[in-house]
Each structure stands twice: as C-alpha cells, then as structure tokens.
Structure 1
Amino acid sequence: MVAHSVSARIDDRWGAGPAPGADDLAQLVYLSNLIGQEPRLVQPGGGNTSIKVGDALLVKGSGTDLRTVGPEGFTRLSLAALATLRTIETMHDAEMMKFMARAMLAEGPAPSVETPLHSLLPHRVIAHTHDVPTMSLTNVGDAVAQRLVAELFAGEIVYVPYVRPGFPLARAVSGIVDRLPRGAIGLALAHHGLVVWGEDSRECYARLLRAVNVIEDYLLSKRRSRTAPRAELVPTPSVDVRRRAAELVLPVVRGALGSTNRVILHFDDSDDVLTALANKGLPALARRGMATPEHILRAGALPAWLDLDPTAPPEETAAVVRSQLGRQRKEYEDYHARHATNGEAPLDDWAKVVLAPGLGMITASRDKRSAVTANLCYRAVLETIANAEAIDAFRFLSEADVFEFEHWPLERRKVDEQDAKEKASLLLPRHIAVVIGGGSGIGQAAARRFVEEGAHVVVADLDGGSAEAVAAGIKTTYPGRAIGVALDVRDDESLARLVRRTVFEFGGLDSLFYTAGQAPRFAGVTEIRREDLQHQLNVHYIGAVLAMGSAASVMRRQQLGGSIVASVSKAAMAPGRDAAAYGGSKAALLQAMRVAAVELGGDGIRVNAINADQIETPLFLKFVKERAAMRGVSVEDQLEAYRRRNVMGVSLIPAETVADLAALLASERFRYTTGDIITVDGGLPEAFPR
C-alpha cells in the first residue's frame, strides 16, 4: 500500500505568520492555505475553516479550495440567526441551504454544508480536515477507534461515531458540546476527519499539528511492529513494457468510461502506487470503500479494476479492458438497484478511479484538475487502508450509507447543473485537441478557441518555446487545460512523442487541427529544384498525413469518433504562378484528406479542410513581403491586389475567424459533415470548392 515505513510527521510551517497587523480574516486565510497545501491534511476541495468575529461567523464558502482561498472565499453569516439551529431537530438539505442564505450578512459564496457544525461549536477558530492519520485511526471498528482516541488523547480529542455530514452531523455534535471535557481541543469524526479549535488561528494550527502527529507517531509504531505475513505480489513489468501497454490502454479506458459524457484522465505510475497495486490482497480491501464521504464525491464509491497482461497484443488488451469495465459497470448497476428507492438514476461517472496492477492508477473526471484531485484522494485512501490494517482491520461505511452520500441531492445537483451548463454553452466540453502549428498565427488562435469551448489542448510547434508560451498564457485563465510540446513533423519519432505525451497527459484524443506551415519557395516549373518540392511536401503533405494517421489510431481505440481538420489554403484549389511546390503540397494534402474521410468515416472520425487566404499571421505577412518584392510593388499595393480579387473586398482576415471554424468543425454541430472544404477568404471565385 501507499504507506510510510518512516515517520510522516507534518512539520509546523507557520513561520513568521501573515504580514504584521493582519486582521482576523487574514490570519484565517493564512491558516487555511497552510492546511490546504498539505495533501496529508486535506485533499483539494475538502475541509473547511471558520472564525467568529463579533456577531458574525466567517466560514469557508462552498466551491472554494483551502489551498488557494482568499478573503473573498469566506461567507459572513449572523451568529444570532445560526443560533436558532440549536432548537431544530431535523432539517432537509434544501431547507438548510435556504436557512443559511437568509443568515448571510453580505454577498459571498454559498455557505459550506458544514456551516451548521462551525456555528454550533462555541469555539472561536475551527479547522476541519480530512487528514490521513485521523482517517486511518477511525476507519476501523467503532469500539476500536473510540478506545484508541481515548488512549491517545485522554479527553483532549473526543470520538464521534459516524453521522452524515451537514445538518445531521451538526446536530450530533451539538448534543455533546456541553459534555465535552474541560481541556478538549477537538473531535475525531468516524470515517470523516478531524475538527480542532483554538482562540486564534495560530493556536488552532498548532493544536491541529499536535493532534495529527500524535496519531502519526502511533501509526508508525504499529506499522513497524506489525508481524503480518509478507503480502503476495503481482509481478511488475519493466518500465518500457508497462508504458507501451499504458499508452494503448488509456484511450480504451477513456472511451469505455466516456461513452455518454467524455472524461479527462490522469495517469499515475509512480513507484509507491505500483507497489501498493502489486499487493494481491488489495482488491478485497479496496472493495470496502473510501476513507471519508468527501472521497465518494471526488473519487467515486469504489475503484474499478483491470487485470491485464501488459505483453498481450493490442487488440486483445483493448477487448479485455472493455469487457472488464463492462462487467464492473453491470456490478455497479446491480448495487444501484439494491438501494435506489427514490428514483435515483445510475451515475454516468460511476468509476472515477481505475486501478491496473503492473500499469498504475488511472483517474477520470470532467477536467484535468478534477482527475488529479481524484488521484490525490485515492492516494489518501491507499495510505488509510494500509494504516487501518496495521491497527486492526480497514472498515468504511455501509453500502447503504455510501449510496446515500453518493446520491446526496445537495451535491448531485451541483454536478448535474454543471453538466447541463457545459452542454448548453460549450462546443467541445471535455474534448482533447491537438493543434499542430499552435505556436503562432492561426494555430495560436485555434488553441485558445478550443480551450474556450471546453477542450483540453496540446499546443505543438517546431518552436517549442512558442508552444509552451501559448500554453502558459492559456493556463493563466484555464488552469490545467493546456500543455506545450516541441514537434518536428518531419521526424517520425517526434510525432510519436507528441501522441504519447497527449495520451499520458489527458488520456486520449478527440480533435486534430493541423495548421503547420512553411513559407513558400517561389520558382517557376523550369527552375524549381527537388529540394524545393521536398521542403514543402515534408511539412504540408507527408507530416500532415502521418499526423492524421497517428491521431486516428488513438481515436479508433477510444471508439468515440473524432475530428481531423487541416488548414489547406486556397493554393490547393487555385493555381498561382511560381507556386508549384507550395500549391502542389497543399493540393496533395487535400486529396489525402478526402481519402482519409473515406477510410475513417466508419469509425465516426470526420476529416475536413479549411481553405483560407489572406489571414493576418506572421507567415502570411512574410509571404506578402516576398511576393511584393518579386513583383516590384509595395506591400500596400500587394495587399490591395489581394483585396480586389475576392468578391467581398476584404484583406487581412483575423486568424480568429479560422479558429472559430476549426472549433465548429470539431464539434457535434458538424457531426454529419466529412470530406468537406470550407473557405475563409472573402470569396475567391477561382477557389470555390463547387
């Protein structure tokens, strides 16, 4: 398992604290960020903090993250209004949220579902964590957990048996507040986490670390003294074998899990994960559940398993993956049928974690950041399982409790609303796109447009620095949604690395936009040289065809269809003087795309071309200067000549117009269109496709 054979104590990182003169809220923000930045204290999105200032409770808002939350992420509520919760025995979730909304003193994020807990505890500063040590100590039998908490803390930390988070937990805690020992500093919540309080943020943080490290010291002693038989291990293949297998498996998993709503994957084959998965006893333990209800939301109720032979032929492996995931989907539906009494529908995202011994851990979600969160959550689960087994025996919630939380209306409503918003407002939700030639011009505009429409994008360019800069610019607004890759389309291995990086980063590929270009080399047919022809063909034809083939291979493994679009230019349709090399290479690409449309249509993969002219890009402006010099005219006169030749009388068309069209062609709106050519040129009669 992912367990530590040495101490994993968490160091005090308070340091000098927040800036001198920081107010109470600034102190709380500082505390929150410190907690959020330590994944063994809380996984992304989980946990919450609060402070009582005067007549107000300031509590971390719903949807914020302790790692990054700022002052604006805290909701201010009336303590007087919240005090009436003490007199209420039951409250449905919808009522609770309306009640808290009425208690808000100012606009802000929706209050956390744990707001009633923070309000009913009288203490000034409160931190609630999903820390691995407490989860390890409390994911055993109730009697064992209660005894251990009492022995380790002698009343400083009080054990609370499991109650569903939200109002039920708040009521349960409210019932014991008056009976807490005088020196109590917190609560150990069964199958949930830790609540610690203090008079100020510094004291709360110190007490939190002290409690967590007391448990960690105990866990270390149990891990070291455990005399259980050596676990039987699954053989782990060599790095090369398992990485080749994973490159084949990831798109198949993505297709199997994303047939209704696509998913983005995260892949983890680090040594500690592989060691944990090699334990042949893990499948039985993992079927007992997660470590805290929050993990159900972010990592699913149970992981799926793949038992694969990494050396098997690719098609055999793909069939085994689909068969095993299909069988486990049926098992999930049976579990759902056992508990669905109020018309709950089976979840589309039933498997957020897929464990493949010998390969690694695959996590799936709506975007990369959520998939990484699922990974961090399940890493915490693996460590919790190992620790709980060293103490006694790992136990989580009953199947009925898991189902209740999995379908908790308060949380499912958020997911359903987000899904509906994606489908209504985005062209490419959860898609994975590769833009070749994305370092500038049309490609740069397209990369940003794809992401704006919901896609994750790989920006590839001969100038790797430009590709990374474009991706970095995108990530400032869309974190985790873009990477930059250096690519030379003239090199087969470089293309293979691009596809491999795409698969390992995001899990597959839905859309390829090929807009790599070379500046034309002008020469008449009597003067043209072989190297001139080859220079253009390498990029505009050979590189493009090989890129299409590599992309289509991944799309076929996914079985989700796909889109390939290339920027072909009007030169493929309309001959120009001295342009045999450039125009010929573009015409060859257009023919190859038509062939690909015929070959790939049965797989639902669409292949279309954009014929663009006069697009305002660095490459086109360089072309204009060269053409003007050849003809002995000014750049302005050359542009005027281009303007006059199209029926709309336009010149220097923005690159964003091509990007818009590329995104449309990649979307479901053009799901029945393939083998087509669409122009963005102001209307050139000699280049009309039909």
Structure 2
Amino acid sequence: MTSKLENLWCDSTAKGLTEPELLQYRSNLLGSDLRITNYGGGNTSAKLTMPDPLTGADVPVLWVKGSGGDLGSIDLSGFSTLYQDKLDQLKSLYRGLEHEDEMVAYLPHCTFNLNSRAASIDTPLHAYIPQQHVDHMHPDAVIAIACTKDSRALTEEIFAGDLGWLPWQRPGYDLGLKLENLCKERPDIKGIILEGHGLFTWGSTSKECYLNTIDVIQTAADWLAAKNTSVPFGGPAFEQPLSAAEQTAVAAKLMPLIRGKITQDQPKLGHFNQSPEVLEFVNSKDLKPLAALGTSCPDHFLRTKICPLVVDFDPAVADVNAELERCVAGLDDQLSAYRAAYGEYYDRCKRDNSPAMRDANAIVYLVPGVGMMTFAKDKATARIAGEFYVNAINVMREANGVSEYIGLDEQEAFDIEYWLLEEAKLQRMPKPKSLAGKVAFITGGAGGIGKATARRLLGEGACVMLADIDAESLGGASEELSTAFGKDAVRTVMCDVTDEQSVMDSMSASAVAFGGIDIVVSNAGIASSAPLDETSLELWNKNMSILSTGYFLVSREAFKVLKAQNTGGSLVFIASKNGLVASPNASAYCTAKAAEIQLARAVALEGAPLGIRCNVVNPDAVLRGSKIWSGKWREERAAAYNMDQQELEEHYRNRSMLKRNVFPEDIAEGVYFFASEETSAKSTGNILNVDAGHAPSFTR
C-alpha cells in the first residue's frame, strides 16, 4: 500500500442521512478504493429497525448488499432487505454442511417489503454476526496475511488479539454460523480474518464500522511495510529490455492472434496492462512457479480462473521481432497445452452433479517483458479480471515477503468455479446482444454519421474505437458516448486516413484497447464542388487522397488484423449516390466515391474465403449533423442548384421519391444491417442506398 488510507467520512455529508442512506454512503466510500475491495467484491450490511408494512410494528430488518452489486456505485435499490427474525428461524431448518446450498432457496421467503433485489449467498455471513453494522472486504494487505501458511499466527502477532481467525471454508450458511459462534466466544474482538479469503469488521454505527474497517486494513499494511524487506518474487530474471512503446507493439501483435484462437461461440474482448506491478511480476524469477499456484481469495479466483497462461516470450533476446515470430509460431501449442491441462483439472475434480466443462481457455495471459493481457466476454469483465489479478500479484508479493504464499486448494477452487449456485446464476444471465464481444473501428467517428453509427453499434453491445482527425470533436464524441454507454465501451484515436503510419498506429491502438477488430466502418470524408475546368489538381488529389487512398489504407490494415484473428469480419464503406450517378460540378468527389465502391467489390472478393464481408452504404443529402454540410460544400451545392443554402434540405427532400429527409441515424441503421451476422451474414459485395429514393441511383 503506497499511501495511507484516508478517512473520507464527512460528518456534514452524513448529517441528516437516514440509516439506509448511511449504509449506502459507507458502502460507496469503501468501494471507491481498490485497496479496500475489488470491483463487485465485498459486502456491507446494517441491522435496522423498520415498520412492518403489514402490521406497522417495528421489526429488525437486515439490509445487505444484494447479488451482483458493486459497492462503489451501489444505491439503495442495490441492497436486499430481509426480516432478521425469519433469518434466525432458518437455523431450525439447517440440515448440515452437505445440505447448506438448499438454504439459499429459503432466503426469498425472508424478504422484507417485497424487495425484488435478490439476496446473495453471503447473506448468512452478515445475518448471524451479532453486530449492527458489518463490513466484509477483500483488501490486499489483509488477504496477504490470510493467504500465508502462518496466517493464524500472523493474525495474532499483528492484531494482538483484537481480531479473530477462522480456517478456510467456502462462503455459505455454515460459515455464517461459525462467524456467529466465534463472535459469541470472543465478544471483545473487532473483526475476523478468514483464511485465504478476506476480512470482517463491524461497529455500532455506520461511521464506527467504516473507521474500524480502514483502521484494520491500515494496520495490516503498516505491518507488512515494516516486515517485508525481501526482494519481490525472487528478483528480476532480466532487466526491463523493452520500452513502453515496444511493449505496446508486441501486445498489438499478440492480442488479435490470441483473441482469434480462443474465440468460440462467444467472441471475447481484451484488456492490456503494463503497470509497474505487473511488469515486476512478469519479469521476475518466480513468475512461473507463482503463476502456477493460482489465486487464493474466491473473488480473485472466480474472475481469473485456476491459473494464468505464461506466454513463451523472451524479451531479453537481441532481435525482438524474430523472438515475436518464434512466440507466434508456438502459440497454438501453448494454448492447446493449457486447454488440455484445464480438462484434466476438470476431470480430477468434477462431482456427480457438476455442470458441464466450460470454456477451457485461460483468462489471464502473462507475457515476460511486456505485461498482462486478459480476455472475457465483454470489455469491463476483461478489465476487471486484470484488476483482480493485480490484487493477486500484490497478495503474492506481500505473503511471500513475510511467510509463504498458499494458493487455493484445487478441489476447493473447482467447487467454487462449478458451484451449482454459480451455475444457476450464469443460466439466468440475459441473452447477449447481437454485437456483444465485437469491436467496431469507425473513421470519421466524431462526425454526424460516424457518431450516429457508433451509437447504433454500441446499443447492440459492441465496443467502438472512434478514429478522427478532429481532436476537439473527437473529445466531445467520446464524452457523449462514454456517458451513454460506459467508458469501457468507447475509445478514441487521432487518425489521418491519408497517412499510412497514422492508420497503422490506429489499428494497433484498437488491438491493444480491445484485443482486435471485427467491424470496420470507413466513413472519413470530405466534399467539394467545382466545375471541371475550375477543378485544381490540388482539389482532385485531396479528394482522391481522403476518399480513395484513405479507404484503401484503412481496408488494408484492417484486413491484416482480421486475417490474424481468423474469425471473419465486416467492412462497411460509407460511399455516396454520387459513386453511382454523377452530379454537376463535383467531378473529383464523384470519381473518388466511385473508386470506393469498386474497392469494396475487390475487398469482398478477397475477403470471402476468409469470412470477411465488405458492403457499401450509399447516403444522399444527409444534411443534419454532418460536418461536411456545415462547411463550404453547402454553399457550393446551393450555388450549383442556384438556390439559397436554407432551401437545400427542402430541395433534397422533394427530389427524393419518398419525399423524406435522410438523417445520420438512417445511415447508421444501414451500417448495422451489414455489420451484424444476424441480419446480413450472407451478404457481401452489396450496395444499400439510403437516399429516400433516387431512381438514377438504382443499382443494376
């Protein structure tokens, strides 16, 4: 712990809050610091007196974080509420450890006030501790002590009897009873450490509970800081030979390859971490033996699997590119070996009623000299898995520095991973959206069509890389879309589509940000108008550079990534009806747009054997929200038709067969049609006109 935990409790903020609101306030404070607990991890509770909605009599009610919530962002709706007296009555129904899972089915019968928030399996752990306010956290400093072979002795030494200790046991009803018994046997303790798991602390008020929690964690951290003077992880196996840029370049090469090789029924998204903590671990002498032990805390394990895969890469060689090629050549064997080992683990540990084996691929990939890559069904889960493994790294460093780190027993690990209650939770998950696990790369992403397209694809579960040359507009689009769809789903990159290196760097940025690319929307554009005899070579070349060469460069570089992934893909070109039917005073623009359409056909031909589709959406007269139409193009087109600029929209509407305006959202709908396997899996080389009807542009 690099800095002390700060007391964030503000009496003026807390003043006037109800008891449930104080519980939420405490929870938000604790969940805001990953040193205290992980995302989605930990629980808080309060036993409060409330009027029964039926009788009006005051009754004790347990407020406890519900299933699936996160303390840092939880609101009152995230807490389950249960009659405490009914929870106490459940003890008479308990048939012993081998039947404890059946106790979860009784929890809904204890619900107070028809609260729809499902109670978590940790509810009994809070219900039976005889304290009004209880916190259950997973701080690295405490878990480091909990995960040593000397865990009990260290607990006594550090806390001088102020904390109790219980041996490892899977969370559940029986553990709740053991917590209760220990509290009754030792009424003066202020908390309990669970071996290999975490910490329970309490207080008579929310504030007292909060202060007790951070004090216990800080005490553990201070002790570790004073006692752990050893060289972490056996010292470095080599000095860091790669710069941050070189690490990123290796990740950009490896991530699409790994992503493609581990993609099965559900596409996966990646996350890259090259933090100092991660690099210290992946560059260490003890990397392989420690990685093989896996994690210990159940929360860590559920997010990161039985153990990570250490990628066979030597960053200390003179020729890094040659080493990368050797690494890539051996990836299939490494991945196959991991899957085989996972299958053997499943066969060794499975029980008669175990669910079928799930995805046998690793979640965490450790690359010496480079960093850590994590892959999961969505970006947030991949990022959080990485955060959990950083927690595990911190635990291993501190535990081995003062004693000996002990990983979770293999059978215990399996019983958590394939717990029937966890399986039931997985089965209740909603069906993924049509673009879940997909990555869309959109050029001109900050413009009207680009942003509308991003919004449409994000709404279907995709992650989006917005590429644009306009930094200011890019920042605004990023903020807008991140607010609507979450920061994990949106990334931006400055990209000049006419600059080869810029395009290459942008594709690498997408590979590192999300693990690769699945959907490419070429949308960057300009528009110009001039009579043929007044069209300068500069104007001609500018159109060709952006609209023809730019589309070529983006297609070529995306094609490389898609080929590496070997999972198909979809390219969508935003062309124009001018690519089919010329307009007066726009020879450069019309010719460049025609080139786009022909390029799309060529890409469709080469991509088909690889499952890579390429199609075209042809807009016409999309005035609203378009940066093109807010510039000189509007003036030039108005002049070409000898009318006022304000008359253009009405002119184009009346010119259309359907007498309707075309908006960016209409083009976005066309892009989604071609991007989604559900709507157009068997379409390639096609053109979709979104122009409200323009007979001369009918495709033939």
User: If the TM-score is normalised by the length of the shorter chain, which range does it land in?
Assistant: over 0.9
Matches within 5 A, 1:105-184: 105-106=112-113, 107-141=115-149, 144-179=150-185, 181-184=186-189
Residue aligning to 1:357: 368
- Matched residue, 1:344: 355
Q: C-alpha deviations, 1:106-140, integer Å up to 9, x for none?
A: 32421222111111111000000011122111112
SS in 1 for 2:391: helix
Residue 666 of structure 1, aligned match among 661, 672, 675: 675
Q: 2:383 aligned with 1:372, yes or no?
A: yes
Normalised TM-score (structure 2): 0.92
For the 8 Å contact 1:469–1:484, the answer to whether it is kept is: no
- For 2:54, the equivalent position in structure 1 comes to none
Where do residues 647-666 of structure 1 align in structure 2 (5 Å cutoff)?
Answer: 647=657, 649-666=658-675
**Are 1:547 and 2:551 matched, yes or no?**
no
Mapping 1:424-503, distance limit 5 Å: 426-479=433-486, 480-503=488-511
Letter in 1 for 2:698: F
Identity of aligned residues (%): 30
Contact kept, 8 Å, 2:529 with 2:636, in 1: the verdict is: no
Structure 1's 164 and 436: CA in aligned 2 closer, same or farther, altered over 3 A? Answer: same
- Select which of 384, 387, 410 maps to 2:395: 384
In the alignment, the residues of structure 1 paired with residue 236 and residue 475 of structure 2 have an alpha-carbon distance, to the nearest angstrom, of 44
- 1:510 maps to 518
Q: 1:588 to 1:229 in 2, by over 3 A?
A: closer
**Matched AA of 2:108:** A
Cα distance in 1 for partners of 2:615, 2:141 equals 55
Question: Separation in 1 of the partners of 2:406 and 2:427?
Answer: 30
Taking a change above 3 Å as real, the CA distance of residues 459 and 232 of structure 1, as seen in their structure-2 partners, is closer
* Between 382-391 and 493-502, the greater mean CA deviation after superposition: 493-502
- How far has the Cα of 1:433 moved from its partner? 0.6
For 2:103 and 2:241, how far apart are their aligned partners in 1? 52
1:331 aligns with 2:341: yes
Out of 543-552 and 107-116, give the one that drifted further. 107-116
The runs of 5 or more residues in structure 2 that have no matched partner are 50-59
The 1-side partners of 2:373 and 2:124 are apart by: 36
2:112 partner SS: coil
* Aligned ranges 1:206-217 → 2 under 5 Å: 206-217=211-222
Question: Which secondary structure does the structure 2 equivalent of 1:377 belong to?
Answer: helix
Asked whether the equivalents of residues 85 and 116 of structure 1 are also in contact (C-alpha less than 8 Å), the reply is: no
CA distance 1:483–1:94, shift in 2 (3 Å)? same
Q: Distance in 1 between matches of 2:411 and 2:157?
A: 31
Q: Is the 8 A contact 1:304 1:353 kept in 2?
A: yes
CA distance in 2, matches of 1:630, 1:256: 54
Alignment of 1:404-419 (within 5 A): 404-418=415-429
- Stretches of structure 1 that go unaligned for 5 or more consecutive residues are none
Counterpart position of 1:601: 608
Measure how far apart 1:457 and its partner are.
Answer: 0.5
User: Which amino acid is the alignment partner of residue 39 of structure 1?
Assistant: L
| Residues 624 and 639, structure 1, Cα contact 8 Å, conserved in 2 | no
* Equivalent pair of 1:431/1:510 in contact (CA under 8 Å): yes
> How far has the Cα of 1:641 moved from its partner?
5.0
- Please state how far the C-alpha of 1:26 moved relative to its aligned partner: 2.2
Evaluate the alpha carbon distance shift between residue 552 and residue 212 of structure 1 in structure 2; reply closer, same or farther with a 3 A threshold: same
The answer as to whether partners of 1:185 and 1:197 remain within 8 angstroms in 2 is: yes
Which residue number in structure 2 is paired with residue 33 of structure 1?
A: 28
Is contact 2:242-2:370 (8 Å) kept? no
Match of 1:278 among 271, 274, 283: 283
* Amino acid of the structure 2 residue aligned with 1:26: E
Residue 683 (structure 1) aligned with residue 683 (structure 2): no
Match of 2:55 in 1: none
TM-score w.r.t. the length of structure 1 is: 0.93
CA distance in 2, matches of 1:306, 1:78: 51
CA shift in 2, pair 1:266/1:14, >3 Å: same
The aligned residue for residue 523 of structure 1 is 531
**Superposition deviation, residue 62 in structure 1:** 1.5
Partner of 1:245: 250
* CA-atom RMSD in angstroms: 2.3
Q: What residue in structure 1 maps to residue 37 of structure 2?
A: 42
Partners in 2 of 1:678 and 1:227 — Cα distance?
63
Give 1:668's aligned amino acid. E
Alpha-carbon distance, 1:77 to partner: 1.2
| Residues 261 and 348, structure 1, Cα contact 8 Å, conserved in 2 | no
Deviates more, 1:34-43 or 1:321-330: 321-330
Deviates more, 1:366-375 or 1:426-435: 366-375
Deviations 1:219-261 (A, max 9, x none): 223312x489953514532214333222111111221222331
- Partners of 2:314 and 2:368 within 8 A in 1: no
CA contact (8 A) 1:163 1:172 kept: no
Structure 1 229/631 Cα, relative in aligned 2: closer, same or farther at 3 Å? closer
Counterpart in 2 of 1:560? 567
Q: Conserved in 2, the CA contact under 8 Å of 1:611 and 1:681?
A: yes
Q: Cα offset for 1:581? A: 0.6
Question: Cα offset for 1:570?
Answer: 0.7
Count of aligned positions? 675
Pairwise CA distance, 1:409: 2.5
AA aligned opposite 1:163: Q
